[in-house]
Structure formats: C-alpha cells, structure tokens
Chains A and B, each alone.
Chain A
Amino acid sequence: MSSRRSRSRQSSGASRISDDQIADLVSRLQQLIPEIRNRRSDKVSASKVLQETCNYIRSLHREVDDLSDRLSELLESTDSDSAQAAIIRSLLM
C-alpha cells in the first residue's frame, strides 16, 4: 500500500498539492466547526466538511449582522465614552 502511494506521488509530481496535504487541511478545518468537531475524521467526508464549513461561515455572518443591528440600536440611546474606556480596559487586562 505504501509503495502504491509513493508511486502516485511521483506520477503527480507536477501538481505540488498532495492528497495527504489536503486531507490534513480538511481535518484541521473540521476541528474548527462545532457541528462536526467531535466526529472521527474517517467518518466525515471532505465534502461534508466543506458543506458544514459553508454553513458555519454563513451562521457567523448572520451573527455579525445581528450584533451590528443590536449595537446600532444601543448606540442611539447611550452616551458611550465611559463605556468604551471600561471595554478597552477589560479586553486588555
């Protein structure tokens, strides 16, 4: 089995991207996605990982939209200078 692999690597020497590299990147991506993070990587196809990645990115975008909306409503009604100082302090300590 290993000899077959090295043969295919030699034959695809022209393309610098190996399947192993891609599989590694896909499994790293899987670790970032809460939906499929805990499933074994041999049980989740690369296609599924990509699909879940897209869904996750879309949900993060929606969260940013929602937070922007709520922040814009809050800004209408508050005077923010002291709040900002507190925020920066809490983030930096």
Chain B
Amino acid sequence: MMQQIWDLILGFLTSKYFLQLFFIPGIAFIGLFTLIVVWFERKLLARVMLRYGPLHVGRVAGILQTLADTLKLLFKEFIPPRKAYKLGFYLAPVFYASVPTLALTAIPFSPTWIVYPSDVGLLIAYAVIACTPILPIIAGWACNNRYTMIGGLRIIFQDVAGEIPLLLSALGVVMLSGSFNLVNIVNAQSRYWFILLQPLGALVFFISLIAMVERVPFDIPTAEQELVFGWRTEYGGILFGLTMFGEYISLAAGSLLFSTLYLGGYLGPNPFPGFIPSDFASMAWILLKMAVMVTVLIVIRGAYPRLRIDQLLNLGWKWLIPLAMINTVLTMLMIYFFPWVGGA
C-alpha cells in the first residue's frame, strides 16, 4: 500500500505536468528569469554608462538586489486612489502579470516539451499578446488619474501600430514552413535559420516586438518624463511589482518567440549525445538564444532615446507595415522560384 502511494507521488513528481508547471516554463523559470534579468539589466545598463550598477547589496556584485526590491515592495503599503474603480485597480496588475505567462505555453522548448501542443501555436501566442494591452487600459481608467488614463490611451495607439506588422512579418515564416505549428516551424529551420532567409521580416518583427513589450525606444505608455509613470503612476507596493513582473514576462515571451521563429528555436548540436538527454540540450539552446535576445534588447535600451508617439505611429504605419507586406511578396516569389528553400 505504502509502496503504491510512494510510486504515485514519485510518478506525479517526475511527470511532465508537474515539471512543466514548476520548472520550465513554469514557476521556477519565470521567477528566476525575472530575478536574474532585472539584476542583469541594471548591471548591463550601468556598464553602458561606465558605472557599476547595484554592487553592495548581497556583497557579490549586488546579486541580491532584485530580491531586496521584491521584499521591500511586499512590505510596502498600497492605497487605491479616491473614487477609483477598486476591482479594476486591484485585478489589472494581477492579470497583467499572469496573462503573458500563457504565451509561454505555446513555445516549444524541445520537440516534445510543450505545455499546450497545438497546430496553431503561433496563433495562440499572438492571441495572448493581443490580450495583454487591455489590462493597462483598464488599469489606467480604473485609477481615476489623468496620467494613467493617457498612458492607457497611448497603449491603444502603440498596439495597433505594433501588432499589425508583428502579424504580417511572421507570415513569411509561416509560408516558408507551411505551418502554424511552432514545432514544424522550428524543424523547417534545420537547414537555415529563417533570419538568413528573411532578414527584412526579422527586422520588422524585432522592431514591432520591442513596441509590443514596451521596451525603451517605444516605452511611450510609461514615459517617465511626460506622464509621471504612465499607467503605473498610482501603483505602489506589490501591485507595482506585479506590473513590472508582467513586463519582464512579456520580454521573456517575446524573446522566446523571436528565437523560435527566426533563430532556429531549440535546434542546436548536442555536445554529448549519450550523456545529456536531448530534451535538456534543446532547452539549453533555446534559453541561450533567449539570453542573447534579452542582452540585445537591454543594450538597445541603453543606446536609444524614446520616440514620440507620432514618430512611433509614422514608423509603424508608414514603414513597418509596407515593409512587412514587401517581405510577404518577396517570400511568395522566393517560394515560387526556389521551392526547395522552405521546409514545406
């Protein structure tokens, strides 16, 4: 009897569901990613400015800085403003932190390691990305504050300008691989990564991705110098922590999606085939590609000033969407004349 229960528990602990929920891409991955990336971002940005960044907290290179920040936010109070819509005020950050994690369910970490294997994985990721901007709008409206409201409205502009090129540019990848299934898309890149076949599409996708995850050249909704802190102005304590958490999870989802579509996803040589399980090697490869993407995004944050909202709209409507369409046409011609390039 005891043996059976023990087997049951052990079977559950080593089952895929448990590992996916608690490790990759579950709680441990999300938590560690945020803790490490926030610290890494502050250190790297400081190095761009020839500073040290966090140094004295946690003795070694300020490694405990993010932990201290999180704990401090937990120990801090938060008060909804007068006449605020309380439900929206409290729930919007919670959902803003949790909805982007759904995008991780569609990403293949290895040929078999997907939380939700589906034939339309790319569309699921896009659906989740399209869901997230609603929450800042609700938050901005619920706070009953002008700055938060303007921040929320800017998100609408930004997302319409960013999401259409995001969808259009990935069309080339879908045409080349002949599938919406992310596993098929990755497997189609076994000969060439799609960034080599689709440099234009990758560029458009990358720029609109930065706009979608609200990173610095396009962090217009939280512009610190114009709106106090955008739609986050009224949030303090752990609610603010949750909004930042959501932003970094979107960053993770965005970089994973980019590596999956253009950088060959989990594909990569396994150095010791007998020694390391192929699942682990695949995960290591996609996480490595994600790390490179995150580094590039952080250095971009250190390098560029913020665009104005009209400049972003100009960029989105006058440049990115036409370029994405040109990319689609080029891909069609490429497939027509050289049918062997695609994986389909």
Chains A and B form a bound pair: no
